[in-house]
């Protein structure tokens, strides 16, 4: 059986509609999933929606519908958004799914039976944005939640609590002895600092405060609190309770892909739950940064929330490749990135149209002009040339970068190969070589080298820009579906003799974004 690779995203709270901040994470996870499929792994990608809690209850009340009806409608919008940007997930889980409700209640009962959950009265500071109780040391100098910039409410309730403090030392030890457990590595120090004063956490809420959630078993006055509910989706999604074969096949999770603002809940709360349940821990939790808009954090109140669909409409994009590419290259993955219309246009025009697309287009045009679009027998080169060695080395470098979730750096490796190939064309000047009979043979070899390098680039960039990569592959004369090509089979010399180009087949694989149209749409 193939080696497995299980990757999850955070499940999105369906209180609002999907925006490019949500998309950023889903694209990253999708790229990793596609890459490891290229490496022959049996991949499972889980995403979904978080559908319980007070905010959804209030939103549904304002709309005059039930919380479930609101969730049904909004989750469809998320699914549509992910289809539009080519997120190829294996399951879209909803916390209102029956198998998830059963699992959460089973988990609650097991922890109650073990004595790791107990009931107690509690007075605490509750942030409805985080849906979490905060301590005074969690707040900023103004007494506000640093994420949501509002003061938490003081709430007194009788709730069920999980003995998180019991697992504090084990969690600390695990983080210290597993350097890849929290990535980027510098995030681990933040979590170790938070663990110093960790307390037991509430895992239920009184129905006097919130009614929309999973009922606590055998207690009609309480619902199970959001973090036990939401975090457990990662084991529900691969059949923990109802499909042991599936669960044993994919668990433990290889990567939990999440935003930096919810790292505490994943690397402390979730790990405590799993330790208490005696379930193996995930291998890596990767906390990515945020996408800002014109250097400002996205906010509904500021009116600067951008959806993937509106971006595609504004720039009249046929597919989402340019959005996927830009979001993954705007900043090193893990750091905060920024979106602006001007940066978006400049980067995708320079990299996808001018650099990648133009290199393919002008090389195929020369092949058509000098050789009637045909790869000649005397054009075929072996893997001993400098450019062939660089192409094969790039494939190895890309794999190494993906192994540590360095998505941006992996893309940069391929772009460096494209840059080198552009320079190679300018240095060898095939248009000059073609002027003599002797030079014509050398010209054929140069064009072969360039086109074979483009094949490498298309395959290596497929996880990021699947539609453009398929066009590149087709224009090189291949009819295969590019996603079925395995990286272990990627070696120099697959481009064979024969006619591959004609006037009808040579088309730009990515059209430059029309700045005038974009500006009109923006206005």
User: d(Cα 324, Cα 328) in Å, to the nearest integer?
Assistant: 6
Which of 19, 26, 70, 256 is an active site residue? 19
User: d(Cα 463, Cα 458) in Å, to the nearest integer?
Assistant: 10
CA-wise closest residue to 148 among 299, 350, 339? 299
In order, the DSSP letters of 276-325 are: HHT-PPPSEEEEE-PEEETTEE--TTTT----HHHHHHHTT-SSSHHHHH
Which of 35, 55, 70, 127 is an active site residue? 127
Q: Is 41 a catalytic residue?
A: no
How many C-beta atoms surround the C-beta of residue 420 within 10 A? 15
Q: Which tokens hold the place of 247?
A: 């669960």
Which of 35, 70, 100, 130 is an active site residue? 130
**Could you identify the residue written with the tokens 């490749």?**
321
Q: Is 130 a catalytic residue?
A: yes
Which of 68, 176, 178, 300 is an active site residue? 300
User: d(Cα 417, Cα 421) in Å, to the nearest integer?
Assistant: 6
Helix extents (H) in 429-485: 430-433, 437-461, 466-475
Q: Is 413 a catalytic residue?
A: no
User: d(Cα 390, Cα 215) in Å, to the nearest integer?
Assistant: 59
User: d(Cα 1, Cα 248) in Å, to the nearest integer?
Assistant: 13
Which of 22, 35, 84, 399 is an active site residue? 22
User: d(Cα 237, Cα 231) in Å, to the nearest integer?
Assistant: 11
Which of 41, 297, 420, 483 is an active site residue? 297
Which of 148, 244, 423, 486 is an active site residue? 148
Q: Which tokens hold the place of 182?
A: 């929290």
Q: Is 145 a catalytic residue?
A: yes
Are the beta carbons of 94 and 71 closer than 8 angstroms? yes
H or E segment and range at residue 126: strand 117-127
Which of 145, 240, 253, 443 is an active site residue? 145
Q: Is 151 a catalytic residue?
A: no
Q: Is 178 a catalytic residue?
A: no
Q: How many residues does the chain have?
A: 523
**Catalytic residue annotation:** 19, 22, 127, 130, 145, 148, 297, 300
């Amino acid at each position: 059986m193939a080696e497995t690779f299980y990757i999850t995203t955070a499940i999105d709270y369906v209180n609002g509609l999907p925006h490019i901040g949500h998309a950023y994470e889903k694209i990253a996870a999708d790229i990793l999933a596609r890459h490891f499929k290229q490496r022959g792994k049996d991949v499972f990608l889980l995403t979904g929606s978080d559908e319980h809690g007070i905010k959804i209850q209030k939103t549904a009340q304002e709309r005059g519908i039930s919380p479930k009806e609101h969730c049904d409608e909004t989750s469809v919008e998320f699914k549509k958004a992910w289809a539009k940007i080519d997120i190829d997930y294996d399951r879209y889980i909803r916390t209102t799914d029956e198998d998830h409700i059963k699992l959460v209640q089973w988990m609650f009962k097991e922890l109650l039976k073990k004595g790791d959950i107990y009931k107690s009265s509690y007075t605490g500071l509750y942030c409805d944005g985080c849906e979490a109780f905060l301590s005074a040391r969690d707040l900023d100098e103004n007494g506000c939640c640093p994420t949501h910039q509002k003061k938490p409410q003081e709430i007194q309730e009788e709730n069920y609590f999980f003995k998180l403090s019991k697992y504090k030392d084990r969690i600390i030890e695990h983080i210290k002895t597993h350097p890849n457990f929290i990535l980027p590595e510098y995030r681990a120090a933040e979590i170790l600092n938070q663990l110093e004063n960790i307390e037991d956490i509430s895992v239920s809420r009184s129905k006097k405060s919130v009614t929309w959630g999973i009922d606590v078993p055998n207690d009609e006055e309480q619902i199970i609190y959001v973090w036990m509910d939401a975090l457990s989706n990662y084991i529900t999604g691969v059949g923990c309770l109802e499909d042991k074969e599936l669960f044993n096949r994919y668990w433990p999770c290889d990567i939990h892909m999440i935003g930096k603002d919810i790292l505490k809940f994943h690397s402390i709360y979730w790990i405590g739950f799993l330790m208490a349940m005696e379930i193996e821990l995930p291998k890596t939790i990767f906390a990515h940064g945020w996408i800002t808009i014109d250097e400002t954090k996205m906010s509904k109140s500021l009116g600067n929330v951008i959806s993937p669909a509106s971006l595609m409409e504004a720039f009249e994009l046929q597919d989402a490749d340019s959005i996927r590419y830009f979001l993954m290259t705007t900043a090193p993955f893990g750091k905060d990135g920024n979106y602006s219309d001007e940066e978006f246009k400049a980067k995708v025009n320079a990299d996808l149209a001018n650099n990648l697309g133009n290199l393919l287009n002008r090389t195929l045009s020369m092949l058509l002009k000098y050789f009637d679009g045909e790869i000649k027998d005397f054009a075929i080169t072996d893997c001993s040339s400098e450019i062939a060695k660089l192409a094969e080395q790039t494939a190895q470098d890309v794999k190494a970068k993906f192994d540590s979730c360095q998505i941006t750096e992996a893309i940069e490796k391929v772009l460096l190969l494209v840059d080198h190939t552009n320079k190679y064309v300018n240095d060898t000047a095939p248009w000059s070589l073609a002027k003599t009979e002797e030079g014509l043979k050398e010209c054929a070899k140069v064009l072969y080298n360039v086109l074979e390098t483009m094949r490498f680039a298309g395959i290596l960039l497929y996880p990021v820009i699947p539609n453009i990569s398929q066009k590149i592959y087709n224009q090189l004369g291949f009819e295969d579906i590019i996603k079925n090509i395995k990286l272990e089979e990627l070696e120099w010399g697959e481009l064979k003799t024969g006619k591959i180009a004609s006037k009808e087949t040579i088309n730009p694989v990515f059209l430059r974004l029309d700045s005038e149209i974009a500006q009109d749409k923006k206005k």
